[in-house]
Structures are given as structure tokens and as C-alpha cells.
Amino acid sequence: MKLINKIKWSLLAPLGAITISFAQGSLDVKFTGAISYSDTCEVALFDKNGLYVPSNIISLEQLKPSDAEIQGAVGTKTKFYIGPRDPNLCRSVKSAEITTVGLESSTKGVLRNLSQFGPQNIGVAVRDENDNNVINQTTKYGSLSTPFRVMFNAFMYNLNGIKPIGGEITSSLVFIVSYQEV
């Protein structure tokens, strides 16, 4: 398994040149970066038909408010895939570890609606092909076959069962993919 190198840095200065002042509170700043597995094994998004989606946007169906007034999943699932953009350039890859980060999750397994112009009781759920929640999870997908893309489903989710107002539903989920040679 190839791992991403971690790089740490620090800034040193002579003590005599530093003016010390104190402020109330503190701030923990985190930095992140990555070195790709290879120059050619680019991760990409594919729609339900396996077509590359360069915009990285999956469109969910449009519902009427009356179609979404039950608590839980509403509408139909929209299938999509994550995998190498060109699998022919990644032939040595046999498994993948995918971590997802939903910075705006409103409840476990549901991303909240980020749009100011839509219902706040409707979010987006994302599941793997076995209907397991993948939001804020790390999952290893082994024995991947060509084109070794991992399938997911996304669908709208009513958080409280109240009939929603009309409007836009927008959510975001970061997929961090590590490919392994077996």
C-alpha cells in the first residue's frame, strides 16, 4: 500500500527579535495536502451510465413539495461512481480506500441543504451499493474489477416529515481516495 507523505514545517526566529503580545482565545489551524498515487491515476466522478462528469455535480430528481412530506428518504436514488478517470493507466491498482467528509452534515448520514433558497428540512443522503451510509466514513473496497469504480447512491432526505417549501437543494461531500496495489 502506498501512503501519502506527511510534511511538517516550522518557522524559527531569534528570540530577541520577537515581540510577545497576548490575545484572548486561541485558534487551531489545520493544513492539508497530498501527493498523488501516480501522475496518471486521476480520481473522477461518473454518472449512472458510467460517463465522466467534469463538473463534479450529480443532479438529483426534481420533486414537488407533496412528494417529500414524509420523514426519511424521498424520491428515487441517483446512482453515481467514483474511480480512476482512465482505468487503463491504473492497471496495478486492485483496491481503494475512500474517506468521505461532509463538512455540513446535519444529522448522521444526511448532508444539510447549503442553499439559502430552499427547504432546510431536506438534505442529501449518500449510500454505497449495500445501502450503508458513507458520509464521514472510511471504507476499503477490495478486489476491484475493471474499471474498478465504486458505486454510490444519492437521494433527498426529509429530516422531520414536514412538507418542505419549494427551492434548491445543494449539498457537498468530499471523497478522498487512496488506491492500493495488491
- Strand residue runs (E) in the chain: 43-46, 72-84, 93-101, 105-107, 110-111, 122-128, 138-141, 150-158, 174-181
CA distances from 124 to 25, 58, 90, 106 (A): 35, 11, 31, 10
The grid coordinates listed for 179 are 488506491
Q: What mean pLDDT do residues 118-134 have?
A: 93
**68-102: pLDDT as tens digits:** 999 999 999 999 999 888 888 777 777 788 888 88
User: Per-residue confidence at 143, pLDDT binned at 50, 70, 90?
Assistant: low
Q: How many CB atoms lie within 10 A of CB 157?
A: 24
pLDDT of residue 47: 92
The grid coordinates listed for 175 are 471523497
Mean pLDDT of the chain: 78
**23-65: pLDDT as tens digits:** 444 454 555 555 555 556 788 999 999 999 999 999 999 999 9
CATH numbers and ranges of domains, the chain: 40-181 (2.60.40.1090)
